Amino acid sequence: MTEALSEILDIVKRRNPGEGEFLQAAEEVLASLDPLIAKQPELLQQRLVERLVEPERQLIFRVPWTDDAGNVHVNRGFRIEFNSALGPYKGGLRFHPSVNLGVMKFLAFEQLFKNALTGLPIGGGKGGSDFDPKGRSDAEVMRFCQSFMTELYRHLGEYTDVPAGDIGVGGREIGYLFGQYKRITNRYESGVLTGKGLAIGGALVRTEATGYGCVYFVEQMLAARGDALAGKTCVVSGAGNVAIYTIQKLQQLGAKVVACSDSNGVVYDQDGIKLDTVKRLKEVQRRRIAEYVELHPKAEYRGGGNIWDIPCDLAFPSATQNELNGRDAQRLVANGVVAVGEGANMPCTPTAAETFIEAGVAFGPGKAANAGGVATSALEMQQNASRDAWTFAYTDERLSEIMRDIHTLCYETAAEFGVPGNYVVGANIAGFRKVAVAMRTLGVI
């Protein structure tokens, strides 16, 4: 890293002590920028890089709520409004006990570059809470969402900040959040949240978009090497929104998915995962993936198992950050993996990502590979603004074009900066350039 960039990284480290995930994400991006700064040193002027790594606004608030037995609980709510140079802050809300300031800031920072890569007018943000929805009744989740929105609403708006879902936040939660926003503001402001149900102004394909988009991206990486998806054996970690629709699209395109997981364990089905069962267990019944084998006794459940030990051609880490480490990457490479698509945000540790790239594996970083979700959120905003609703086929075609364009942008940028095939450098430089140019145009604000 050049001296100027490593000085900036030192400032980030001093200013954000203990925020491990944020520092990891910031270091990864800054480490990619050397060739860009060498070509365009003026990007260091006006302290653009330093301004870019500092969030515009960080909100932390108390979320009190009452459970079904009448006990009062207190959680912490967050919204990081990282950068609005390209458009209103945009990014999901995560409800998971592991949420803290460092996790929120890494997600908002990644989101900023991801959103830039989509080419759509959206800035970067992220929010959430350390609330754990597991085992909570529908009524408890509703009361939590209402309390959360009672504080957050004042910071939102279709031109200001537009949240969506992430881990633990899906259509049900977005519905309760939107209901409370509408009630407090007395405005049916559809464009203030995305990922809404179809009954309240949601868009077709948003549910499927992250998973489908990740498969489209990997398809492009394979095509760039003269290879294709059909017949490939795949492993997809997680069993949530991203994992489910990754599996669906892979199966539609003729690949075979042999494993998925949740935080308790791994299901291995060598005949191919039965997606109807996963969808019913996880989307409808909110149960554990272990129950899959009760319905499909030939499949195997490995409680506490490591999904990355299973041999595959394509790996889709789609659960959470740092879920795939250097040792896992070595194992996957030894087992002949040819491509990795990060469905989750930063699921591969820095050592894992390096291992893949050094081994010549096509590695699609999250900020490119999983951008289909937020891109389709921006399409939902377009539909809301024009009071229109597009068909599934039309929206899916738009998504697929956007993923093709992101692939081309990352691929060409990597080649331009002398590291052909390195999608990490391609995505980081291309995303950074878009945000930096917009910030410079806006002046010192």
Q: Least Å distance between CB 215 and ligand 2IT?
A: 16
Closest CA to 120 of 418, 442, 402: 402
Contact by Cβ (8 Å): 76, 129: yes
164 versus 338: smaller Cβ distance to ligand 2IT: 164
> Based on the number of CB atoms within 10 Å of its own CB, is 145 exposed (0-12), middle (13-18) or buried (19 or more)?
buried
Q: Least Å distance between CB 93 and ligand 2IT?
A: 8
Which token pair is 158?
Answer: 């279709």
Q: Does residue 118 touch ligand NDP according to CB under 6 A?
A: no
Strands (E), 310-411: 314-316, 339-341, 362-364
Measured between its terminal Cα atoms, the distance across the chain in Å is 27
Q: Does residue 167 touch ligand NDP according to CB under 6 A?
A: yes
Q: Does residue 90 touch ligand 2IT according to CB under 6 A?
A: yes
Work out which of 21, 262, 313, 396 binds ligand NDP, going by CB under 6 A: 262
Q: Which of residues 297-356 bind ligand NDP (CB under 6 A)?
A: 318-320, 343-345
Q: Does residue 165 touch ligand NDP according to CB under 6 A?
A: yes
Q: Least Å distance between CB 86 and ligand NDP?
A: 18
What distance in Å separates the CA atoms of residue 153 and residue 423, rounded to the nearest whole number? 37
| Radius of gyration from C-alpha coordinates of the chain | 21
Give the CA distances from residue 313 to residues 158, 310, 317, 333, 345, in Å, rounded to whole numbers and listed in that order: 42, 10, 13, 9, 21
190 versus 345: smaller Cβ distance to ligand 2IT: 345
Bridge-partner residues for 406, per DSSP? none
Contact by Cβ (8 Å): 124, 83: yes
127 versus 426: smaller Cβ distance to ligand 2IT: 127
Q: Does residue 125 touch ligand NDP according to CB under 6 A?
A: no
Bridge-partner residues for 74, per DSSP? 64
Contact by Cβ (8 Å): 2, 44: no
Work out which of 36, 235, 239, 337 binds ligand NDP, going by CB under 6 A: 239
Provide the CA 302 distance to its chain's centre, in angstroms: 26
Contact by Cβ (8 Å): 164, 374: yes
49 versus 364: smaller Cβ distance to ligand NDP: 364
Q: Does residue 365 touch ligand NDP according to CB under 6 A?
A: no
Q: Which residue do the tokens 């003729």 mark?
A: 254
Amino acid of residue 367: K
Active site residue 126: yes
248 versus 377: smaller Cβ distance to ligand 2IT: 377
Q: Does residue 238 touch ligand NDP according to CB under 6 A?
A: yes
Contact code string over 359-398 relative to ligand 2IT, x by CB under 6 A: --------------xx--x---------------------
**From the list ligand 2IT, ligand NDP, none, partner contacted by residue 167 (C-beta under 5 to 8 A by kind):** ligand NDP
What distance in Å separates the CA atoms of residue 106 and residue 103, rounded to the nearest whole number? 5
Contact by Cβ (8 Å): 332, 292: no
Q: Which residue do the tokens 């900040």 mark?
A: 161
Q: Does residue 248 touch ligand NDP according to CB under 6 A?
A: no
Q: Least Å distance between CB 111 and ligand 2IT?
A: 6
- Catalytic residue (choose from 114, 126, 282, 434): 126
Site of interaction with ligand 2IT (CB under 6 A):
90-92, 111, 114, 164, 166, 194, 345, 373-374, 377
Site of interaction with ligand NDP (CB under 6 A):
92, 96, 98, 165-168, 210, 238-243, 262-264, 318-320, 343-345, 370, 373
Provide the annotated active-site residues: 126
